[in-house]
Structures are given as structure tokens and as C-alpha cells.
Structure 1
Amino acid sequence: MTEAAVSHAGSKASGRDERVGILLVFLSALMWSFGGTLGRFIENPDSWAVVFWRSSWAAAFLIGYMVWRDGVRGTLKLFGSMGLPGLAVAVCFATASTSFVVALAYTTVANILLMQAGVPLLAALIAWALFRERVSAPTWAAIAAVICGVAIMVSESFNGEVSPVGDGLALLIAVMFSIATVITRRFAHVRMTPATCLGTIFAASFAATQIGGFAVTPRDMSFLFVFGAINLGLGLACFATGARLIPAAVAALIGTFEPILGPIWVWLIHGEIPSARTILGGTVVFTALLVHLGLEFRRQSRPSRPGTTGMPSPH
């Protein structure tokens, strides 16, 4: 086969992989967007019971997925190779996923999801504070806008309109995801799937120490299975596989479908209408994120200089 033919075949494979990656990341965002809606269907008042069963189903799914993909030995090797960075990501994810379920009892789904939309920018701020990673002027402007938008949303808790516990947990979710993002960037060898699987195990173990009772109705268990195995577990598997095939800016841009669609599903199905401050603050956060991602996507899409391979700029 000639060199031109090899290059053409490689470009076709690369294009196909990128399309698969885009589809998988979109599917993960779509599945995650139903999290708040599913949580509203569960009638059990004990949030720790919900955390336990959701995390347990997610852990069972992810373990089964890794065993199917890598075999038993390969799965054990993945867990063993995570090291301290993987443990840190697991703790962050356990905290975030637990806080999400508990926050649903105190605040609106829109508040939770729209605060999470600022995770890429909060991660840039944390990376600058801890590792002095360079932050461009446009990114600083976007970070400032996100802080303002979150402040607008959280201000509702100051006058008693919503619970400060709920908004505090929503903010904690965003911070934990931001820290996990920074750790994953700094330690690129850490595989997301086993780390997040370990996080679900941590979450289930802690919930078991706080739970009022393990018994749930068959109806609730069916929703908990979907909430854990499909919404959380399958969503993570799709994202972990797809995000490796496309540029980070593209993955982040596609991920914005979650905070867009999540409040819409809850509004259509449960009639939960976001407050004016949530809409205003969320609009500020979301606009800052989209502008930032648009600039980053444009930077990565610039044609390479003569003599280069045409690959996206490193990030």
C-alpha cells in the first residue's frame, strides 16, 4: 500500500473515531440530563437510602462493563494502577454524586445543573491557584462572570427563598467536579472509569453508615436501578470512552447539553419552574461558558503551520 493510501485510510479511521466520540459524549450528556427528573420520581424520603442504592447499582454496572471490556485481570490492573490521583478523583466523585442526591431535597434541579455548567472555568481557576497554570485574559473574564452568576443564584438563600443547604451542596458539587478535572489533567494516565467506579463504592459505603433503612418499595427500586445503572453508570461509561476520541473543548461543548436539557425535563414532567434569579444567574454562567468554549474551539481548530501534522493544538 502506498504512503498516500495509508494516510487516506488513517484519516478515514480518525474521522470515524471522532464521530463515534461525539455521539458517545452526547449520549452521556443526554442520560445525565435526566438525573433530576428521575430523582423527583423517587418517593423514599431518606436521601441516604437513595444514595446507597443509586451508587450500588452504578458500581455494579461499571464493574460489569470493565470486566466485559478488559476481563477480570485487566479490571484489577486498572484499579491497581490508579494510585493516589485515582483515589482523589474517586473521593471527589463520591462527594459530588452524594451531594447531588441530597441537594435535590433542598433546591431546584436548575440551580444544581446551572452551577455545574461553570465547572470548566472553575477548574481553570483552581489550576491557576494550585499549580500556577497560565490563564488567558478572556478566561479570567469568563471566570469572573461565572462567579457573578453563581452569586446571583445563591443570593436566593440569603432571603429565605431557598435553602442555603441546597445551594451550598450545589456549589460543592461544582467545586468537587472542578478539582477532579484538574487532577485528571495533571495525571493523564488515570483512567476515569475505575476512578469513578471506586467513587460510587465510596458513596455507597458512606451512605450505608447513615441510612435509616435499606428497604425500598419495588416502584422506587425500579427508578433507583435506572437512576444508578443507566443514568449514572452508562453515562459515565459513554463519556469515558467518547471523551478520549475528541478534543477537550469539543467534549466540554457537547457536555453543555446536560445543564440545558436537565431543567427542561423537570419543567415538562414535574412542573418545576426555575425562579427568576436562577434563570438570570444561570444565563450569566451559561453565556460565559459558551463564549469561553467557542474561543477554545476556535483556537484548537486553527490550521496548523506548514510542516506540521494538522493535529489540534495541545491543551
Structure 2
Amino acid sequence: MTTLALTHTDDRSWHGIILVILSAFAFSTAGFFTRLIEVDVWIMLFWRGLFGAAFIAGWVIWQHGAGSLAALRRVGWLGLVAAGCSTAATICFIHALRETTVADVLVINATAPFITAGLAWAWTGVRERWSTLIASGGALIGVAVTVIPAIGAGRLWGNFLALLMTVLISAMMVLIRRQRAVDMLPASALSALLCAVVVLPWADPAAAVTATGWTFVNLALFGICQFGLGLLLLTVGTRLISATRSALIGALETPLAPVLVWLAFGEVPALATCLGGAIVLAAVFGDVLITREQGASKSWAPSKGSRSSPR
């Protein structure tokens, strides 16, 4: 019975890991879209939030049907706080991308595992395994390698916004993990909608509709493929693994985003950014491999009350 329980837990963990990896791929396209879409940042935030909310809400309705409103009520006040954190983080994120380089924003975001572990321990008393904490420290070193050269380069405001975004996202993941018995996707849909509502006084949505070319189509893709899909995968995946591990795996977007922007627009990352991204990448994969080895050793351990090892 113990072996079966471990196997089931390991399966859920790996499902969570895969979902968060996919969310990192989705989120890594943010820099690409912000460079591609030439509209005011408030307009971008409005349509990104609206399309993202519609995508996640559609998923919730497909999943819960007539019980969708009841599912929204079940998220409780913690779900509303998580939605507020996500909304504020989104606004900081897009503004940070306009104030500093994509590489700096994503590498600063790599501090998320460290911040998440601290918040989770302070609030819930949950202590992360040493391998993940060490990997988080490695990611933090990668951040330092990238950010220190930017001091005095006129990008500090953008870097501050990126750090604030990271703290808010870390808090959101701790809340989702704490409420893992509840489907938090309705809260994610609400956070995306709130983003559109909050920025509406500063936005001119009609300007994007009347813009020439593919602007409106790209805004829809930005909201659905990057924001909506990324947030959906992160929300579901974080329910299956620890908040710290989710934040650590999510740091994969750090090396992915600058590469995509470089290939599409020729924005070559600085050497320090490349080195910092490589350190983050090594930390993430190191933690995933260690988790896999530990899971394999547990699955082959003798079960309680058995006379032989499981086959």
C-alpha cells in the first residue's frame, strides 16, 4: 500500500513538473510579443488581460459547466488575494519589459524560488527539501551575475518593477499551493479580467481594433497563448508540486525568452546575461534530475509489512 501511494504521488509530481515546464515555454514568449506589438502599454495590458480571461473562463466553463459560479465562490478570500497578486504582477511585468531588457526581467524573476521558499516557510511552516533550496541558491547566483552589470546603466526602475513582480508571483504560488484542494482556475480568470479593468482608465482599446496590419490578431495571440495558457498551466501545475519547485522550474523562461527575442529581433543578450541564464538553467535541470532519482529510489524501496521488494 505504501509503495502504491508513493507511485501515485510521484506520478502527480511529474504531471505538475511537466505542466509548469510548458507554462514556462508559454510565458517565455512575452518579450517576443511586447517587441512585436507596437501599441501603448496600457492598450496592450487591456487586450492581453481580456483575451487571457476569456480563454481561462472558457476552460472553467467547459470543466464545470453550470457549476462555474459555484467554483468561483469556492476559491474564497485567499483566491481573491491570489488574483490580486497576479493582477498587480502582470502590470509590473509589462511595464518592466518596456523599462529594461527582456533578459534582465526574466533573470530577476529567477529569484522566485528563493522568495517563494521564504514565504512558504514563514506562512505555512513548510520547509523545502535541501536539493531544491540549493538549486534556488544557484538560480540566485545567476541573477546576481546578470543584474550587477546593469547597476548604473539606467535600467534600475525596470529592474525594481521586475523584482516587485517576482515577489507578487511568489505570493500567488504559495496561495495556490495552500489551497490545492480547491480549483483555483476561476481565480486565475478573475485576475486576468481584473488586469483589463484596472488599466481601462488609461487605455484606448479602440485604437488597437482600428490599427493596421496584424496588431489586433497579435494582441489576441498574446492574451491567449502567452498569458491565458501560461497562467492556466501554472495554476494547475502548482497544485501538484511545491510552490518553491514550481517557481524554480518556471525560471526556465529566463534563458528561453532572450533567445526568442534574439532570433526574432536581433536583440543580442549581454555576455553576463548569457552566463547568468546558463547558471539558472543548470540549477533547474539539476533539481529535476535529483527529484527523479529520489523518486526512483522511493518507488523501489521495500513497502511496510512486505517481505520482498516491489516488482
Instruction: Please confirm whether the aligned pair reaches a TM-score higher than 0.5, indicating the same fold.
Output: yes
Contact 1:66 1:75 (8 Å CA) reproduced: yes
Secondary structure of the residue that 1:303 maps to in structure 2?
Answer: helix
Identity over aligned pairs, percent: 35
Secondary structure of the residue that 1:134 maps to in structure 2?
Answer: coil
So what's the TM-score if we normalise by structure 1? 0.79
How far has the Cα of 1:175 moved from its partner?
1.5
Distance 1:247 1:158, change over 3 A: closer
What does 1:264-303 correspond to in 2, within 5 Å? 264-303=259-298
Contact 1:118 1:286 (8 Å CA) reproduced: no
1:226, 1:134 → 2: CA distance?
38
Secondary structure of the residue that 2:126 maps to in structure 1?
Answer: coil
Offset from partner CA, 1:84-125 (integer Å, 9 cap, x none): 110111111112222221111111222222233342332112
Aligned length: 295
What does 1:118-157 correspond to in 2, within 5 Å? 118-157=111-150
Cα RMSD, aligned residues only = 3.3
Q: Which 4+ stretches in 1 moved above 6 angstroms?
A: 17-23, 245-254
Between 1:124-133 and 1:73-82, the stretch displaced more is 124-133
Aligned residue for 2:308? none
Amino acid at match of 2:173: T
Distance 1:116 1:190, change over 3 A: farther
How far has the Cα of 1:177 moved from its partner?
1.6
What does 1:75-154 correspond to in 2, within 5 Å? 75-154=68-147
Distance 1:251 1:60, change over 3 A: same
How far has the Cα of 1:287 moved from its partner?
3.2
Between 1:129-138 and 1:193-202, the stretch displaced more is 129-138
Aligned residue for 2:303? 307
Aligned residue for 1:312? none
Aligned residue for 1:193? 185
How far has the Cα of 1:132 moved from its partner?
3.9
Distance 1:48 1:108, change over 3 A: same
Distance 1:141 1:30, change over 3 A: closer
Contact 2:107 2:146 (8 Å CA) reproduced: no
1:42, 1:22 → 2: CA distance?
31
1:188, 1:23 → 2: CA distance?
17
How far has the Cα of 1:249 moved from its partner?
8.9
How far has the Cα of 1:256 moved from its partner?
5.1
Distance 1:246 1:187, change over 3 A: closer
Aligned residue for 1:3? none
Aligned residue for 1:47? 41
Contact 1:115 1:282 (8 Å CA) reproduced: no
Offset from partner CA, 1:6-63 (integer Å, 9 cap, x none): x9xxx99x97x9997776555433332222111111111x211111111011111211
How far has the Cα of 1:138 moved from its partner?
4.7
1:250, 1:281 → 2: CA distance?
19
**Paired residue for 1:174, among 166, 173, 191?**
166
Contact 2:110 2:143 (8 Å CA) reproduced: no
1:271, 1:63 → 2: CA distance?
36
1:137, 1:239 → 2: CA distance?
23
Secondary structure of the residue that 1:189 maps to in structure 2?
Answer: coil
Contact 1:249 1:296 (8 Å CA) reproduced: no
Distance 1:300 1:119, change over 3 A: farther
Secondary structure of the residue that 1:188 maps to in structure 2?
Answer: coil
How far has the Cα of 1:129 moved from its partner?
3.4
2:118, 2:145 → 1: CA distance?
19
2:58, 2:86 → 1: CA distance?
19
Unmatched 5+ residue regions in structure 2?
A: 306-311
